[in-house]
A and B are shown apart, each in its own frame.
Chain A
């Protein structure tokens, strides 16, 4: 299993504790949906090969 395929529910619960976030259980489905969408986006970004010189700009300039 690729790490991006890991179910996010457990990750949300445990990372929220680390960040000091108290999550109302009623919010869980929408947080799961949003983080799952971001995970899909991350898959697109992280699977793309970049060179070591492709660094983030300290101050972004167009």
Chain B
């Protein structure tokens, strides 16, 4: 089998004329046609648009116009991103009755401007409220490495499509771990940048003070090349910071250098299975650190994040909860209804705690540059599993998958989820966590891990291979 092109190789080949954008898109669509029926990663395939965008790239190239930096790269987006002419489903049956989006989300428009070609929208937990992408409305996205196991969520389609190499890169969103959890379970790299770094304009919200958007790819280089095209302020998203872009692609060859790197112990060393522990040890060894630090009160931070999420999400959907509750996915409806009933004092206290927690972690980052923590407590559970046993304790699968990601996104820190093959036969990853606005440090450490051989996306699984 020929390995499908990466972002980097697609761009290089389109630029040197050995591959046209139309051929790149045709290759992606061909893989989607063959593999998607067993994967359930997509909710829409934008075939006509993809071919049109590829044709535009090829015509511009033929006319001597300089290629965009992502010329001919096929990509797909979580179905909460607006795509002009496509209804933004956000995993919901209710949203299926909405009119098609009248314009692209900001990030989709930026990728189009760079010459990338959109091939479709991807499955997710309804309104992003879940960690497994077992969607009652649009199907259960399978893990390409074992179709009896979940892909993770809520950006499950985004991770599965990249892991199966249907596309080399996808966009997702992350409120409590929704990029990092599926990236870990599917064995791909996932970036959740600093809160406010990337524009959320034209995305269907979940929890307004916690929502981030980001991306998933099969290598650090691909992640960096696309991330650099997504950056930039945007008045359409009030949370998007008015900051200049900070290109990371030039940084990834620098290496971890003299970065002060530490493993996070305490809460982050508890409640995980052996594979997660092995992954953290392998990452620490590859980065040459034996240092351990603790993030104070991380368990309370996770609790506070859950409260903020529940209240903000329920408030957003309150009208539909009053009049159309029976149309919600049964897997999410009860979470939304419970969130609607939360006393205001709990919510405000959770927001006040965030202030306290952020100050403590800021202080920690005076002593370290990069933190290593597990991304998920376990590799992918089987579909339909409600509970799992970790360290002899029975816990709810859905909630426990976010144990290590929620405290980090709660204060908006940049993270790259990095797959560590040494951890076992099923994929699992670690979080490479940096100080606010220092995605560059995360990229340098992740690239150093990749260069050492400790981090890599597993080979494209046989179930997703084509002859």
Q: Give the interface of A toward B (CB within 8 A).
A: 11-12, 15-16, 19-24, 27, 30-31, 33-35, 37-38, 40-42, 44-46, 48, 50-51, 54-57, 59-62
Q: Which listed residue, B303, B338, B356, B411, touches A34 by the CB 8 Å rule?
A: B338
Interface string of B339-366 (1 = CB under 8 A from A): 1111101101111111110100000000
Q: Kindly list the 10 A-B residue pairs having the minimum CB-CB distance in the complex, ordered from nearest.
A: A56-B351, A34-B338, A62-B412, A41-B303, A30-B334, A62-B436, A42-B346, A35-B338, A44-B303, A54-B355
B436 A45 Cβ-Cβ under 8 A: no
B355 A62 Cβ-Cβ under 8 A: no
Bound complex: CA A60 to CA B195 (Å): 9
A62 B194 Cβ-Cβ under 8 A: yes
Chain A residues within an 8 Å CB radius of B343: 42
Bound complex: CA A22 to CA B333 (Å): 13
Known: A27-B334, A50-B353, A54-B352. A35 touches B322 (CB 8 A): no
Q: How many residues of B contact A (CB 8 A)?
A: 49
Q: Which of B239, B307, B334, B399 has the most CB of A within 10 A?
A: B334
**14 chain-A/chain-B pairs, Cβ below 8 angstroms:** A20-B322, A21-B321, A21-B322, A33-B334, A34-B335, A38-B310, A38-B339, A41-B307, A45-B304, A45-B307, A45-B349, A46-B346, A48-B300, A54-B353
Minimum Cβ distance to chain A for residue B68 (Å): 30
Extra contacts, 5 of them, besides A19-B340, A57-B354 (Cβ < 8 A), are A31-B337, A46-B346, A50-B356, A59-B238, A61-B241
Q: Give the interface of B toward A (CB within 8 A).
A: 194-196, 209, 238-239, 241, 297, 299-300, 302-304, 306-307, 310, 318, 321-322, 325-326, 333-335, 337-343, 345-346, 348-356, 358, 399, 411-413, 436-437
Chain B residues within an 8 Å CB radius of A41: 302-304, 306-307
Chain A residues within an 8 Å CB radius of B341: 11-12, 15-16, 19, 31, 35
Chain A residues within an 8 Å CB radius of B354: 56-57, 60
B338 A31 Cβ-Cβ under 8 A: yes
Bound complex: CA A27 to CA B336 (Å): 12
Bound complex: CA A40 to CA B399 (Å): 13
B318 A19 Cβ-Cβ under 8 A: yes
A45 B356 Cβ-Cβ under 8 A: no
Bound complex: CA A30 to CA B302 (Å): 21
Bound complex: CA A59 to CA B240 (Å): 11
Bound complex: CA A57 to CA B302 (Å): 18
Bound complex: CA A33 to CA B300 (Å): 19
A48 B325 Cβ-Cβ under 8 A: no
Q: Give the residue name and chain of the B residue nearest to A11 (CB).
A: B341
